[in-house]
Amino acid sequence: MFLLLTAALALGLGLSCERGPVRPWFVPNFGVEVGGLSGMSVRTAFMSPVASVHVYARHALTVGLDATWMVPLQFERFDDWMGFRGRAFLDVSLW
Residue 76: per-residue pLDDT: 67
Q: Is 55 left (phi over 0), alpha (psi -120 to 50) or beta?
A: alpha
Residue 58: per-residue pLDDT: 86
More confident site: 37 or 10: 10
User: What are 12-60's pLDDT values in tens digits?
Assistant: 998 988 887 788 899 999 999 999 888 777 778 889 999 999 999 888 9
Which DSSP symbol is given to 21? -
Tell me how far CA of residue 69 lies from CA of 8, 92, 94, 95, in angstroms.
15, 25, 31, 32
Tell me how far CA of residue 31 lies from CA of 11, 38, 47, 52, 79, in angstroms.
11, 23, 11, 8, 23
Phi, psi of 2 (to 5 degrees): -100, 135
